[in-house]
Amino acid sequence: MGFVQDVLTSFVAIIPVTLAQSLILAFVVLGIMIPFRMLNFPDLTSEGAFPLGGCVCGVLLAAGASPLVAIMVAFAVGFAAGCCTAFIHLRFRIHTLLAGILMMTMLYSINLRIMGKSNLSVFGSPAVFDWVPFTRPGFPASKIVVAGLLALVVFLALYMFFRTEKGTAVRAVGANPDMAEAQGINVWAATIGGVGLASAFSASSGALMVQSQGFADVNMGLGILINGLAALMIGEAVVGKQTVWRQLLAPFAGAIIYYQLVSFCLAAGMPPPDLKLATGLFVLAMLALPSLKRSRGSAPAREAIRE
């Protein structure tokens, strides 16, 4: 009982911290979901766009720019990175995954050029989290309020967009690009815009994370893709993906649940180096679960046919 009580006490103590972090990183999960689910465009650009946004934000904050301006610029450069990935795929007929790998690789050098070094400290620089009244700057409460409000605004905006004619056209391109083109939909515009928007959200998440932790690093996106995919799988398993609002809610719900699970594992004494292995095994299990269910469901049917 003593061990369980200690674990629960440690877990409860860090819930505000992990909740703030999960709300910030939920935008990366959203950036993974949009190409993957809405456009049927498996993309790896998020792992490069996340540090890109962080590096741009760090340099602007160090130069004395407003934290809001830094986030907006990070959003813009992330959008440009995603557009480049989609253009490489469409123009040169390169597979989406390879196009994402190429862009992610190039962004590493670009991030180094932007900062001029591998990491940059911005401790003491202003952050959007400092603007929340009645909260202490730098504490989880202000981060939860800002990230939560941004998540709500983004969710509502995307929900309204995907219910419009243009939003439906984007989803149609993901469902069947040939049929969408036959209906007069501009496949290039929908794909480039959708992938660009997804990378923009990932870059914005990187900018928020830099303002939260106080430094930027070119390696801050290492492993963020597998973590985001794990969060997306959890969100879809819990919320579902049958409707637009469920699909949009899944990244946010999944990010919160996933990072709470990670914090619980750490509180229970799991060594941090084992988290990547545990995450990979969990994603594998979530991806394999539908196949296993289909296999179990078809086994009685095969037995009945044999009889």
Q: Kindly report, residue by residue over 1-56, the tens digit of the pLDDT.
A: 566 777 777 777 788 889 999 999 999 999 999 999 999 999 999 999 999 999 99
- Residue-level pLDDT at 272: 80
CA-CA distances (angstroms) from residue 179 to 89, 174, 175, 294?
A: 19, 10, 9, 29
- Residue-level pLDDT at 114: 95
Residue 297 reports pLDDT greater than 70: no
Give the mean model confidence (pLDDT) for residues 92-118: 94
* Integer Cα distance of 37 and 42 in angstroms: 8
Confidence of residue 289 (pLDDT cuts 50, 70, 90): confident
- Summary mean pLDDT of the chain: 89
- Residue-level pLDDT at 248: 96
Between residues 146 and 307, which one has the greater pLDDT? 146
- Residue-level pLDDT at 196: 97
First-to-final CA distance of the chain:
53
CA-CA distances (angstroms) from residue 303 to 22, 98, 185, 223?
A: 46, 42, 47, 44
216 within 8 A of 203, measured Cβ to Cβ: no
- Amino acid sitting at position 240: G
* Integer Cα distance of 75 and 33 in angstroms: 17
Q: Kindly report, residue by residue over 114-134, the tens digit of the pLDDT.
A: 999 999 999 889 999 988 887
Residue 237 reports pLDDT greater than 70: yes
Confidence of residue 303 (pLDDT cuts 50, 70, 90): low
Give the mean model confidence (pLDDT) for residues 69-98: 96
Taken in order 72, 124, 126, 262, the sign of the CA dihedral is positive
E strand residue ranges, the chain: 119-121, 215-217
147 within 8 A of 208, measured Cβ to Cβ: yes
Helix, coil or strand: residue 215: strand
Element spanning 285, H or E: helix 274-306
Residue 305 reports pLDDT greater than 60: no
pTM of the model: 0.91
Of 56, 79, 18, 7, nearest to 210 by C-alpha is 56
Q: Kindly report, residue by residue over 182-225, the tens digit of the pLDDT.
A: 989 999 999 999 999 999 999 999 999 999 999 999 999 888 99
What are the sequence ranges of the domains in the chain? 1-295
What would you measure as the largest C-alpha separation in the chain, in angstroms?
A: 77
Fold of 1-295: ABC transporter involved in vitamin B12 uptake, BtuC (1.10.3470)
